[in-house]
């Protein structure tokens, strides 16, 4: 792509009147240059089995081509038509909650042959029909694909076949690896293999979850293969990845998909990022999603395929926020931003997930603000396109640790929900990410199994509960070779089968951290004393005993005051810090500042932390590009960090010049 993409999802199917010409004119006048179509419209594309109707697709592509607007065509497979379920009721995935009835999207078993058969036919027809259209620049396969919680019988049988292979048909090995002797769960004949949906064995349950993440990868690869039989070389294939929705919006590692593995299937990563606005707009979620999408494709630029225009009722942006958000995506490395969706829908589930246009389909403040963005991007595309980053700091993430901590939760040690709920893996990830974001530290994510570590000065492992021994060995070497490692509580506890290591904790790393523990508990009112001030400990207390490490913080508690809470230890050429509990924001900032400085990862953006948010990189024409983003309702003033040009107003700027930034506004400097 040679320009920034800006636009929205467009559904001619859902329009109450024939107004596509009005819409394309409104888009053009607002500088929109792309639409995404067809995703989830299977029932209009194929109203009856084998009967195809491309009229809406044709109308949309015709109108967009006429208006010079590019089109991304989505395969429609993430919502199944009524006739498919009427003929094959068992395409609906059985889940732990039971058998669903027809209605919502994402309720089918993505491995079911009847679903696959019909999905393949409609994809092939759609591709034949659209691949040669000039206006079509790429294809999105399915949407926000997951395994939808399937526990359908054929999936369970496939899982057992998978285990037979993994364990080379050796049931003893499997029983041992998973600890199935406990509570008489042992399996001594493959034909006795029990339904796994109610298992209380975390090793088995997590293996099943991992297997189901594999189903997603298989499915995407299969769809991509079909699409590529028809796509031109200049057309891309993408997927719309999304994240943990735990806080009520996109923030956190996706539990049901390993994005690193799944991203191999696509040419360019696509993502949807939904986040709070109004007084709760901080930029953290946008940055997180962007950092992850870059990381899963080795730093390549990505497309924001969906983000909110007006969004949910509480997300209506204040004046300025829509524009600030759009730039925030670019500042993380996006090459395009598309809203979900052009017009608010007049019916059904997402009537109040509002688009650029309200239900009256007339211009409104959000549309007007998007037009400002569109016109700016038309003008400054060259400066803003293809931002590349070279980050010094990385966070190691793991779907496996995430899953493990739903079976052995941080606060109770039991299955999530069995004795109340608990904060989970992503709460720890978000804690560190928020702290780093607040310090203007840009990060990459690295995969626990196979990510490159040498690129980074400083690596964090939030609650890396379970990992194969090889990962721990690589972390060990990383520090020995001069890297700086910061690990939190519940790191290096268990192996890849969730068997807790039976030697000193943290396994293989006690000398790296120069500390160990053999008891841990819940906070029970404990504080952490660091640098003379005491703030509360949260989630869990690992009672650390330094071996060689320096104690950076201790517990403030009548029974546990002999134990360390945070330790630091030189190891080889590097250094390793261990956090035995969740610290307060204040203490976290202090410990992280220290770690960043000692790792040589402290620079001028950190000095601006608290004033503006800084993101930077090198743009497509090879020049340094700096974003100064004001996520606040107040005017701020900062000194320009470099000589260059203020991109959006063309002003020349010298390092040290005072730059005033209005509420929810920004400055982009090109060096």
Q: Which of 160, 415, 609, 642 binds a copy of itself (CB under 8 A)?
A: 415
Please give the backbone phi and psi of residue 34, each rounded to the nearest 5 degrees, phi first: -150, 145
Please give the backbone phi and psi of residue 273, each rounded to the nearest 5 degrees, phi first: -130, 110
Q: How far does the chain reach from its first CA to its final CA, in angstroms?
A: 23
Task: Kindly indicate which of the ranges 192-200, 386-394, 433-441, 473-481 contains the residues binding a copy of itself, using the contact rule CB under 8 A.
Answer: 192-200
Q: Which of 139, 178, 241, 243 binds a copy of itself (CB under 8 A)?
A: 178
| 425 interacts with a copy of itself by CB under 8 A | no
DSSP state of 232: -
Cβ 487 vs Cβ 505: under 8 Å: no
| 153 interacts with a copy of itself by CB under 8 A | no
Distance of alpha carbon 85 from alpha carbon 91, whole angstroms? 7
Task: Kindly indicate which of the ranges 67-75, 410-418, 457-465, 577-585 contains the residues binding a copy of itself, using the contact rule CB under 8 A.
Answer: 410-418
Is 504 exposed, middle or buried, given 0-12, 13-18 or 19+ CB atoms closer than 10 A? Answer: middle
| 351 interacts with a copy of itself by CB under 8 A | yes
Report the residue number, 80 or 453, with the smaller CB distance to a copy of itself.
80
Please give the backbone phi and psi of residue 599, each rounded to the nearest 5 degrees, phi first: -85, 0
Report the residue number, 45 or 268, with the smaller CB distance to a copy of itself.
45
Smallest gap from residue 581 Cβ to a copy of itself (A): 13
Smallest gap from residue 201 Cβ to a copy of itself (A): 5
Smallest gap from residue 79 Cβ to a copy of itself (A): 4
Distance of alpha carbon 164 from alpha carbon 167, whole angstroms? 5
The CA-atom distances, in angstroms, between 447 and each of 4, 200, 291, 431 are 29, 28, 13, 18
Report the residue number, 518 or 654, with the smaller CB distance to a copy of itself.
518
Judge whether 240 is annotated as a binding position: no
Distance of alpha carbon 561 from alpha carbon 556, whole angstroms? 5
Catalytic residue selected from 46, 94, 285, 306: 306
Please give the backbone phi and psi of residue 429, each rounded to the nearest 5 degrees, phi first: -60, -45
Report the residue number, 358 or 529, with the smaller CB distance to a copy of itself.
358
| 359 interacts with a copy of itself by CB under 8 A | yes
Task: Tell me which long-range contacts 172-178 makes (C-beta under 8 A, separation of at least 24).
Answer: 177/203, 177/497, 177/499, 178/203, 178/204, 178/207, 178/497, 178/499
Owner of token pair 């160990």: 516
DSSP state of 519: -
Owner of token pair 């999936």: 155
Find the binding residues for a copy of itself in span 69-88 (CB under 8 A). 76, 79-83, 85-86
Residue 34 token pair: 């792309």
Report the residue number, 278 or 533, with the smaller CB distance to a copy of itself.
278
Q: Write the DSSP string, 527-592.
A: EEEETTEEEE-BS-EE-BEESS-EEEEEEESTTTTTSEEEEEEEETTEEEEEESSBPPHHHHHHHH
| 349 interacts with a copy of itself by CB under 8 A | yes
Judge whether 36 is annotated as a binding position: no
Active site residue 350: no
Please give the backbone phi and psi of residue 138, each rounded to the nearest 5 degrees, phi first: -175, 175
Cβ 155 vs Cβ 95: under 8 Å: no
Q: Checking DSSP bridges between strand 393-397 and strand 334-340, what pairing results, if any?
A: unpaired
* Secondary element (H or E) of residue 338: strand 334-340
Report the residue number, 94 or 444, with the smaller CB distance to a copy of itself.
94
Smallest gap from residue 388 Cβ to a copy of itself (A): 35
Active site residue 306: yes
Q: Which of 6, 10, 14, 241 binds a copy of itself (CB under 8 A)?
A: 14
Q: Which of 21, 29, 101, 621 binds a copy of itself (CB under 8 A)?
A: 101
Quick note: the x/- pattern for a copy of itself over 230-269, rule CB under 8 A, is ------------------x---------------------
| 44 interacts with a copy of itself by CB under 8 A | yes
Find the binding residues for a copy of itself in span 491-530 (CB under 8 A). 498-505, 518-522, 524-525
| 200 interacts with a copy of itself by CB under 8 A | yes
| 129 interacts with a copy of itself by CB under 8 A | no
Q: Which of 24, 201, 301, 308 binds a copy of itself (CB under 8 A)?
A: 201
Least Cα distance to 655 among 668, 665, 641 occurs for: 641
Total of residues contacting a copy of itself (CB under 8 A): 104
Owner of token pair 């950092």: 291
Task: Kindly indicate which of the ranges 34-42, 159-167, 395-403, 581-589 contains the residues binding a copy of itself, using the contact rule CB under 8 A.
Answer: 34-42
Find the binding residues for a copy of itself in span 451-490 (CB under 8 A). none
Catalytic residue selected from 39, 46, 94, 144: 144
| 180 interacts with a copy of itself by CB under 8 A | yes
Find the binding residues for a copy of itself in span 291-320 (CB under 8 A). 310, 312-316, 318-319
Distance of alpha carbon 293 from alpha carbon 301, whole angstroms? 8
Report the residue number, 234 or 362, with the smaller CB distance to a copy of itself.
362
Find the binding residues for a copy of itself in span 365-394 (CB under 8 A). 365-366
Judge whether 315 is annotated as a binding position: yes
Smallest gap from residue 187 Cβ to a copy of itself (A): 5
Least Cα distance to 137 among 40, 237, 213 occurs for: 237
Q: Which of 348, 652, 654, 658 binds a copy of itself (CB under 8 A)?
A: 348
Q: Which of 29, 102, 113, 482 binds a copy of itself (CB under 8 A)?
A: 102
Specify binding-site residues: 105, 143, 315
User: Catalytic residues, which ones?
Assistant: 144, 306
Q: Which residues are annotated as a binding site for substrate?
A: 105, 143, 315
């Amino acid at each position: 792509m040679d320009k920034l993409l800006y636009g929205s999802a467009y559904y001619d199917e859902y329009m109450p009147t024939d107004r596509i010409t009005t819409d394309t004119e409104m888009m053009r006048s607002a500088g929109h240059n792309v639409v995404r179509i067809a995703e989830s419209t299977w029932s209009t594309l194929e109203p009856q089995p084998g009967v195809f109707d491309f009229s809406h697709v044709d109308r949309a592509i015709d109108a967009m081509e006429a208006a010079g607007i590019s089109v991304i065509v989505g395969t429609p497979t993430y919502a199944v038509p009524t006739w498919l379920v009427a003929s094959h009721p068992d395409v609906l995935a059985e889940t732990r909650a039971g058998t669903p009835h027809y209605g919502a999207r994402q309720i089918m078993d993505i491995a079911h042959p009847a679903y696959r058969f019909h999905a393949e036919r409609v994809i092939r027809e759609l591709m034949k029909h659209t691949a040669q259209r000039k206006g079509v620049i790429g294809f999105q396969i399915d949407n926000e694909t997951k395994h939808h919680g399937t526990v359908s019988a054929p999936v369970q049988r496939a899982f057992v076949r998978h285990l037979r292979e993994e364990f080379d048909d050796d049931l003893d090995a499997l029983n041992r690896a998973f600890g199935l002797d406990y509570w008489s769960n042992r399996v001594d004949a493959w034909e006795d293999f029990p339904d796994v949906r109610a298992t209380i064995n975390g090793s088995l349950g997590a293996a099943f979850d991992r297997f189901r993440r594999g189903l997603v990868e298989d499915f995407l690869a299969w769809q991509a293969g079909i699409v590529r039989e028809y796509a031109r070389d200049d057309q891309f294939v993408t997927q719309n990845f999304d994240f943990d929705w735990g806080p009520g919006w996109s923030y956190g590692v996706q539990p049901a998909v390993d994005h690193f593995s799944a991203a191999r299937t696509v040419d360019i990563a696509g993502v949807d990022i939904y986040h709070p606005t109004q007084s709760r707009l901080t930029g953290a979620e946008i940055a997180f999603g962007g950092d992850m999408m870059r990381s899963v494709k080795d730093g390549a630029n990505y497309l924001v395929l969906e983000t909110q225009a007006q969004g949910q009722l509480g997300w209506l942006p204040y004046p300025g926020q829509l524009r600030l958000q759009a730039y925030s995506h670019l500042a993380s490395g996006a090459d395009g931003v598309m809203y979900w969706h052009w017009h608010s829908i007049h019916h059904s589930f997402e009537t109040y997930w509002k688009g650029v246009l309200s239900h009256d389909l007339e211009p409104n403040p959000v549309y007007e603000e998007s037009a400002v963005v569109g016109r700016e991007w038309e003008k400054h595309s060259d400066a803003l396109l293809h931002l590349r980053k070279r980050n010094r700091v990385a966070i190691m993430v793991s779907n496996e640790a995430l899953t493990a901590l739903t079976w052995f939760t941080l606060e109770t040690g039991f299955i999530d929900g069995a004795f109340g709920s608990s904060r989970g893996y992503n709460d720890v990830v978000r804690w560190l990410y928020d702290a780093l974001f607040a310090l203007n530290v840009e990060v990459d994510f690295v995969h626990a199994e196979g990510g490159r570590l040498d690129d980074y000065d400083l690596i964090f492992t939030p609650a890396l509960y379970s990992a194969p021994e090889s990962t721990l060995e690589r972390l060990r070497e990383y520090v020995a070779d001069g890297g700086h490692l910061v690990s939190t509580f519940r790191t290096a506890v268990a192996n890849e089968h969730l068997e807790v290591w039976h030697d000193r904790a943290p396994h293989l790393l006690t000398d790296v951290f120069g500390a160990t523990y053999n008891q841990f508990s819940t906070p029970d009112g404990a504080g952490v004393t660091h640098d003379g001030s005491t703030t509360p400990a949260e989630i869990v207390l690992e009672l650390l005993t330094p071996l060689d490490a320096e104690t950076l913080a201790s517990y403030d508690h009548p029974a546990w005051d002999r134990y360390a809470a945070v330790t630091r230890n030189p190891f080889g050429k590097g250094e390793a810090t261990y956090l035995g509990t969740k610290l307060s924001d204040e203490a976290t900032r202090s410990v992280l500042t220290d770690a960043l400085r000692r790792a040589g990862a402290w620079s001028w953006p950190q000095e601006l932390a608290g004033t503006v948010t800084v993101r930077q990189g090198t743009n497509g024409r090879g020049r340094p590009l700096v974003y100064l983003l004001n996520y606040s309702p107040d005017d701020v003033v900062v000194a320009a960090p470099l000589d260059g040009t203020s991109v959006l107003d063309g002003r020349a700027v010298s390092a040290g010049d005072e730059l005033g930034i209005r509420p929810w506004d920004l400055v982009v400097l090109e060096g």
